[in-house]
Amino acid sequence: MTHARRWGFGLLIALLLVTWVLPGVRAENLGKMRIQQTDGKWVTGEVEETPEAYLVKVGSITVTIPKTRVKAILPVEETQSPGEAQEESNHGSGLKDLEIEKLLEGTGLMPPDEDPDDIELPLDEESVGEMMRIAGTENIYTTKHVVVVYTSTKQKAAEIATRLEAIWRWRVRFMKMLNLPLRMPEHKLELYYFADHEEFKTLQVNIGGQPDDGTLGFFLPSSNRSHFFDMLTWRPIKMRLQSLKNAPASVRAREENMARQWAEYQTLSVTQHELGHHIDFNLGLFPQAVFLDMESFDSIPRWLVEGTTMLFEVPPTAEGASLGVINYERVEQFQTIPKFAQKWSPDFFKLFVVRNEIWLQTGWYYPMGWALVYYLWEEKRPGLIEYYHIISNRDPGEAVSYSQREREFQDCFGTIDQKWVDDFWKYIMELPRKRSLLPPKDYP
């Protein structure tokens, strides 16, 4: 298997989650109510009242509506007929765009003039100037939230910028669904896109690293930049194509088609993984300060950081976003790796949950990280939302023992016994595999 993601230049990313329902404030349960906001929009759900706001549970999502934005609040039976009752979403099938829009409509998580999709971030001209000097180019491409310094064609730069904007939109929706506040970056997110892999390797040296042929892209927290290149120029691909330059035209055409399929898939997968980390770090999904030192980083579960971004590795489809859609590459890996092909003991599972060091042993723990977060999202979503909030409130540098990490996990998801582990393992092993949606096997 090609190791498409390596973190040799820095541990990935994180985001800063700040609890926005004040601790210690008791909420009064009002039952199922319908709230009309000052803009005329209605939100229906189970309502709890605090001194400053109403907490409305819509399906598995809890949203906060400040009392200053409430025009009326009425019991459901006074406002809607049985046919108008809002249906709960089906958690097992991947949320659709319209479904999420309906759930989030009018929730007031951010005032309209502060919607992160509408705000254009300023350009950090000094920082971008440094990037252009390092890359040896004056080419830049900008969108609302990103600037690409590129040596490739403008079209390639535009494609990756558009991809980042799509990931941005879905990360914003995801954080709203988690009921977590957004922290807007000061400037546009910065990334490199190189026309050739050799330029990419030169950059690795220029920023203090070592060239690594196995790295297909990375996000570097210390510079807050992402780095990518045209995958068709990756050395193994180039060598394979060059070896067939004298082959019959039909053979060359077939090989070139396989190379394009592989490059297109890896470009989407790797960029969405790395840009996901980049956005998570800048929007505040995990504590930003965890990269100050190793002790701070170790306070955040690595399986949660990696598993979260792997939820979004799959490009949006006709079903909506990648969120909730099966990641067939990770399913294929999980179900075919001998290490995972046998049922586990609770002790092995606990080790994976509590020890970040286990990720340094092998890249095969990535599919397990995806599998765990996907399972918790689909089957234990309220607990997962609670767990995100616990992690978000962690102070930088806070010492977290293995026993504390185990206790936090079990408080949110239940006791880790053989039945828990068997249920998880069975759920993932029974997911369908679709080889046709993956790149050519064992290529290049």
Could you say which DSSP state residue 109 is in? Answer: S
pLDDT for residue 111 is more than 80: no
Model confidence band, residue 109 (pLDDT cutoffs 50, 70, 90): very low
Mean pLDDT, residues 406-421: 97
More confident residue, 19 or 261: 261
- Total number of residues shown for the chain: 444
Per-chain mean pLDDT for the chain: 80
Q: Coil, helix or strand for 43?
A: strand
What percent of the chain stands above pLDDT 90?
A: 41
Model confidence band, residue 42 (pLDDT cutoffs 50, 70, 90): confident
118-122, 233-237, 352-356: least confidently modelled range: 118-122
pLDDT for residue 291 is more than 90: no
Element (H, E) at 406: helix 402-413
Residue type, 181: P
For tokens 């980390």, the residue is 277
More confident residue, 171 or 419: 419
Element (H, E) at 368: helix 365-379
pLDDT for residue 298 is more than 90: no
Model confidence band, residue 84 (pLDDT cutoffs 50, 70, 90): very low
* Cα gap 356→302, rounded to integer Å: 6
Pairing of strands 225-229, 189-194: parallel
Nearest to 439 by CA among 275, 257, 312: 257
Answer positive or negative: Cα dihedral of 327, 172, 161, 188: negative
pLDDT for residue 154 is more than 60: yes
Q: Residue 150, class by beta-carbon neighbours within 10 Å (0-12 exposed, 13-18 middle, 19+ buried)?
A: buried
Model confidence band, residue 167 (pLDDT cutoffs 50, 70, 90): confident
Farthest CA pair distance, the chain: 78
218-227, 234-243, 256-265, 287-296: least confidently modelled range: 287-296
Model confidence band, residue 94 (pLDDT cutoffs 50, 70, 90): very low
Q: Residue 134, class by beta-carbon neighbours within 10 Å (0-12 exposed, 13-18 middle, 19+ buried)?
A: middle
Residue type, 406: E
Q: Are 146 and 165 in contact (CB under 8 A)?
A: yes
CATH superfamily of 125-287: Collagenase ColT, N-terminal domain (3.40.30.160)
Model confidence band, residue 358 (pLDDT cutoffs 50, 70, 90): confident
Predicted local distance difference test score (pLDDT) of residue 296: 63
Residue type, 313: E
Q: Are 341 and 44 in contact (CB under 8 A)?
A: no
More confident residue, 386 or 264: 386
Mean pLDDT, residues 152-166: 92
Mean pLDDT, residues 335-363: 86
For residue 24, the Cα-to-chain-centroid distance in whole angstroms is 31
* Cα gap 377→383, rounded to integer Å: 9
Gyration radius of the chain over CA positions: 23
Predicted local distance difference test score (pLDDT) of residue 283: 87
Q: DSSP letter string over 65-93?
A: EEGGGEEEEEEGGGT--GGGPPPPP-TTS
Model confidence band, residue 95 (pLDDT cutoffs 50, 70, 90): very low
Residue type, 52: E
Predicted local distance difference test score (pLDDT) of residue 339: 74
Q: Are 208 and 241 in contact (CB under 8 A)?
A: no
Predicted local distance difference test score (pLDDT) of residue 293: 58
Q: Are 73 and 293 in contact (CB under 8 A)?
A: no
Q: Coil, helix or strand for 242?
A: helix
pLDDT for residue 319 is more than 90: no
Element (H, E) at 389: helix 381-392
Question: What are the residue ranges of helices labelled H in 152-285?
Answer: 154-177, 197-206, 235-242, 249-283
Which residues are bridge partners to 72 per DSSP? 36
* Cα gap 80→40, rounded to integer Å: 16
Mean pLDDT, residues 367-378: 96
107-111, 313-317, 397-401: least confidently modelled range: 107-111
What percent of the chain stands above pLDDT 70?
A: 78
pLDDT for residue 83 is more than 70: no
pLDDT for residue 425 is more than 70: yes
pLDDT for residue 356 is more than 60: yes
Mean pLDDT, residues 126-143: 97
Highest mean pLDDT among 22-31, 112-121, 412-421, 429-438: 412-421
Predicted local distance difference test score (pLDDT) of residue 143: 96
* Cα gap 153→325, rounded to integer Å: 32
Q: Are 4 and 216 in contact (CB under 8 A)?
A: yes
Q: Are 124 and 190 in contact (CB under 8 A)?
A: yes
End-to-end CA distance of the chain: 10
Predicted local distance difference test score (pLDDT) of residue 196: 96
pLDDT for residue 139 is more than 90: yes
Element (H, E) at 388: helix 381-392
* Cα gap 12→217, rounded to integer Å: 12
Element (H, E) at 374: helix 365-379
